[in-house]
Structure 1
Amino acid sequence: MNKKYIFPENFWWGSATSGPQSEGTFNKRHKSVFDYWYEVEPEAFFDKVGPEITSNFYNSYKEDLAMLKEIGLNSFRTSIQWTRLIKDLETGEPDEDGVRFYNDVIDETIKNGMIPVMNLHHFDLPVELYNKYGGWTSKHVVELFVKFAETAFKLFGDRVKYWTTFNEPMVVVEGQYLYEFHYPKLVDGEKAVQAMYNINLASAKAIKRFRELGCTEDGGKIGIVLNLTPAYPRSNNKDDLYASKVADTIFNYSFLDPAVKGEFPSLLINLLKEDNILWESTEEELQIIKDNTIDFLGVNYYQPRRVKAKESEIDNTKGWMPEKYFDYYDMPGKRMNPYRGWEIYPEAMYDIAINIRDNYNNIPWYISENGMGVEGEEKYIGEDGSIQDDYRIEFLEEHLQYLHKGIEEGSNCFGYHSWTPIDCWSWCNAYKNRYGYIAVDLATQKKTIKKSGTWIKEVSSNNGF
C-alpha cells in the first residue's frame, strides 16, 4: 500500500516568481543591473533572450493569476521591483504607475484566494546605484534600500502580511563578486565580504523599519529567503568534516545566523580576521542586526554541495576565495538533472528541516523554492496537447516526502512553494530550462497548464498526496 502524506492544517501550496523574471521592463523607471548587462552584452544570455518581455506578467497578470487559482494554489510569492516602484532612488518617492501595478497585482492575488508574499530584492539592484556608489559594497545603498522598503510597507502593508527582504542574498555575493555570473562579474574577495555584511545589515534595518511602522500590529510578518545548499563531506574523517563545516558557514550560515540568531558565526569571523579580510562594521550596526531578527524563514533548496578536505594547491591569483578551505568532491553515482547540471538529492529536505528544528530555534519556515529545470520540454507534449512532465511530478513528490518526514519529527514548516508557477526568464539562462506548472510559448505568449499543474491542484485540494 502506498503511504499517504498529509500536511499540517492551512499549509501553503504555492509557487514563486520575481518581478524581473516575469514582468518585463514595460514602464519601468530605472534599469536594473540585469537590464543594463543585457544591453551591453546580449550574447551572455541564452539565445540572446533578455528581460524586456519575459512572461509578460505586467500586461497579463489578471489572466496569469486566474490560472494560478485554476491549478489550486493558495499562496503566491513575487517581488516588488525597486526599479519599478521607486521614482526617486534617493528619497524613496514612488512612481505612480508602479504603485498602480503592484496594488492591482496584490488585489488580484487576494481576489483569487491566494496569500500574497512580497519580496523586496531579487538580484535586481538599480544599476545607477552600482555605478554611483558601488552597489551593495556601499552603506549609502543600504540606507536607500530601507527607504524603498518603507515606501513598499506603507503602500501595501494593509494587504500584504508576509514580506521578505531579500531572495538568495548569497547569490548576489557569489555572482557579482566571486564567480562572475552576475554583472559586474568581479573577482574581489574584499568586496564580496563587505557586500555580505551590508546585505545582512540592510535586511535588519528594513525589518527594524517594518516594526517601527507598526506593520506587525495587524498580523504582518517579515522574513528573508535563503538558498540553503547543505555541504556534505566526502567522509567522516575530521578534515573532510571541517571542510564541510567551513563551506556551510560561508555559504549558508553567513546569512542564516544573523537572520535567525542576530549574530554572525564565530567561525566565519575568525576565518575572515585571520585572512585579514573582515568587513567594516560598527557596534551600532551589529546591535541593529542583533535586535532585528526575522519572524519566519523562506528556504530555497535545489541541490547539495559536496566537499572534501583541501587537496589541490591554494590558488592565490584571484585573491581571497572560499575554496581556500575545501575542494569540491565529485561523488560517484550521484543522481543528476542533466539539463541543469545539478545533483538531485531530496534527502537534504529532511536534513534542512532538522537543522532548523535543532539549531535555529525551530523558527517557522517554509520551502520558498524547489523545482526542476528541463530543456526542450516541448518534446513531451501528450495527446491532449499539454506537456507530460512526469519527471517534475516525481521530483517534487520525492522532495515533499522528505520534507514531510521532517515535519512529522517536529520541524515547524508551514508551506511549500515550487519554482515557478509559469515558465519564467532565468537570468543568463533566459528560457533555456523551464520550471513552471504552466508553459509559456515565447512567440505567442500563450500559456498552457502542464500535467504537473493538474497534479498540484490535486495535492493542494487533498493537502497531501
Structure 2
Amino acid sequence: MEYKFPDGFWWGAATSGPQTEGRFHKAHRSVFDYWYDIEPEAFFDRVGPNVASNFYNDYVQDIALLKEIGLNSVRTSIQWTRLIKDLEQNTVDEEAVRFYRAVLDEFLRQGIRPVINLHHFDLPVALYKKYGGWESKHVVDLFVQFATKCFELFGDRVKDWVTFNEPMVVAEGEYLYQFHYPNLVDGRKACQVIYNLNLASAKAIAAFRASKCAASGGRIGIVLNLTPAYPRSEEPADQKAAAFAEDFKNNAFLYPATKGGFPESLEKVLAADGVLWQSTPEELAIIRENTVDFLGINYYHPFRAKARETAFDDDSGWLPEKYFEEYEMPGARMNPYRGWEIYPQALYDIAINVRDNCGNIPWYVAENGMGVEGEERFRNEEGFIEDDYRIDFLKEHLTWLHKGIEEGSNCFGFHMWTPIDCWSWKNAYKNRYGFIAVDLATQKKTIKKSGRWMHDVSAQNGF
C-alpha cells in the first residue's frame, strides 16, 4: 500500500543546542553542564556535553548532510546559557548572536526550514542556585526576557517558534524521579514547577504576539511529550487510575496550551491533597488568553496504568503514584535498549485526541524514534550502518499517523529524533537515534541506511 501525505508536509528531524553544540564559548553553565562537572560518573562512559557532536564548529557540513538526506525542516534550540551574557540584565553575547545568525542563514541557504525552541532542559544553573530555578516566578520573567530578545534578534529568519520542549520532563526529572539535576523528590515543588512552566510559556507567547514576529506571519507553539495512559482493564478502579495518569502526565500541559486552563479533575485532586500550585487571577488570565498557534507532540511509548495494589508509601511526601501504579502489559513489544514499549497505534490515538479534544489545532510529530545501543555492529563493508529496524519502526508509526490524518486530524509534519547522533543527558551516547552516525573519536559523520530512506520519503512525500 502507498501512503501519501498532505502537500507541504514537514519531513524533518529534531535536536537541541545543548545536545549538539558543545560548550565552546558559552557564557554560563546549564544544570546539565554543572551536573557533569561535579559528578561525571553519573553519565554513561563519563561522556559529557563538552563537545557533543561538535555542531558549534561543524554546522556548515552538518547542515549539508541534513540537506543530503532530504530534510525540509529541522528543530533545534537557542541556548539561554549561550546567548545571554548577563542573566538579570538580559544583555547578549555578541559571539553567540553571530553564531546563531550564521546557523540560521545556513539552514535557509540549504532550503531547510528552521524551527527554533527556547528551552530544552538547559536552565542556567546560576538561576537554580540563586532562585530555585523553575520553582521561582522571577525565573519565569527572566525567561520571558530571554525569549523576547530571541524574537528581536532572529525573528527575521525564524517563522516557527517553540517555547518549551517536554516541560513535564523538567518536573519529572528534577522533582519526582531523579534523572535531572538537582534530583529532588518533592511532589509539592513538582506541582508548582508544572504551573510555573505553563505560565512561562503563556507569558512568552504574549511577548511573541507583541513582537514583530507575529505581525510578519510567524507563529509560536510548544512541544509536549505525550504518553497516552491506557487502563489495564475496563474495571472502574483501573479506569480511574488511568484517567488521573492522563491528567497529570499529559493534560497538565496539553490543556493549558490548547484550552487555556488546567483540567478541573486534576485541580480538584491536588487541592484536596494540599499540593495545588500557587496562582493569581492575573496569571490565570495570561494562561487563558495565550494558547498556542500549533502543537508539537513527541511520542515514544505509551503509559499503562492500573489501580494501586499496594499501599502508597507517604514517606517521600505526595507523589502522583498515590493514584496509580504502572502496569506492564504481558506480551508487550519492547525496545530492550531503552526499556520502552513499542506501540505505534498510540500515534493514531493522539491524532484523534487532538482532533476531538483540542479543537483540531494544527500539530506535528515533533519527535519519534528508536534508540539502539551498539549500532556499530550493523556497519557494513561499505562503511554505513544498516538500521533496517529504525526504518521498520518509522514505517509503522507513519502508517498509524497517516490513518489519523485521513480521518481529519490536522497534522502537518513528522520529525524524527534525531538528525545526527547526539549527546543525550545521563545516557550520553549509549543509545543512538540519528539518521547520521557520529564517530566520537574522530567526529566523522556518515549517513545510515535510514537517512537514505528518509531522502526518498521526503522526495515522494510518502512511502
TM-score by length of 1: 0.99
Aligned equivalent of 1:170: 168
Residues 415-434 of structure 1: matches in 2 within 5 Å? 415-434=413-432
Q: 2 CA distance for matches of 1:395 and 1:406?
A: 17
Shift of 1:371: 0.3
Identity of aligned residues (%): 69
Q: What amino acid is aligned across from residue 224 of structure 1 in structure 2?
A: I
Alignment of 1:260-271 (within 5 A): 260-271=258-269
Q: Work out which of the residue numbers 179, 188, 191 in structure 1 matches 2:189.
A: 191
> Residue 11 of structure 2 aligns with which residue?
13
Answering whether residue 370 of structure 2 is matched by residue 372 of structure 1, we say yes
Question: Match for 1:243 among 229, 241, 244?
Answer: 241
Q: Which whole-Å deviations, capped at 9, do the CAs of 1:144-191 have from their partners, x for residues lacking one?
A: 000000000000011100000000000000000000100000001111
Q: Which residue of 1 aligns with 2:75?
A: 77
Q: Which residue of 1 aligns with 2:103?
A: 105
In 1, distance between residues paired with 2:238 and 2:145? Answer: 44
Within-5 A mapping of 1:269-280:
269-280=267-278
The equivalent position to 2:152 in structure 1, one of 146, 154, 167, is: 154
Distance (Å, rounded) in 1 between the aligned partners of 2:317 and 2:90: 37
Deviations 1:359-389 (A, max 9, x none): 0000000000000000000000122210000
Structure 2 residue runs of 5 or longer lacking an equivalent are none
Write the letter of the residue equivalent to 1:311. Answer: E
CA distance in 2, matches of 1:372, 1:429: 14
Match of 1:291 in 2: 289
> In structure 1, which of residues 55, 58, 73 is the aligned counterpart of residue 56 of structure 2?
58
Correspondence 1:121-140 to 2 at 5 A: 121-140=119-138
- Unmatched tracts of structure 1, length 5 or more: none
Which residue number corresponds to residue 384 of structure 1?
382
| Aligned residue type for 2:428 | A
**1:216 CA drift (Å):** 1.3
The range that moved more, 355-364 or 236-245, is 236-245
Matches of 2:46 and 2:288 in 1, distance apart? 44
Distance 1:277 1:381 in 2: 51
1:10 shift after superposition: 0.2
- For 2:214 and 2:139, the matched residues in 1 are separated by 25
Residue 344 of structure 1: how far off its partner (Å):
0.3
Determine whether 1:435 maps to 2:436: no
Partner SS, residue 215 of structure 1: helix
Q: 1:203 aligns with which of 201, 204, 212?
A: 201
Cα distance in 1 for residues equivalent to 2:382 and 2:365: 32
- 1 CA distance for matches of 2:211 and 2:7? 31
The Cα offsets for residues 61-84 of structure 1, whole Å up to 9 and x where unpaired, read as 000000000000000000000000
Distance 1:322 1:189 in 2: 8
> What TM-score do you get using the length of structure 2 for normalisation?
1.00
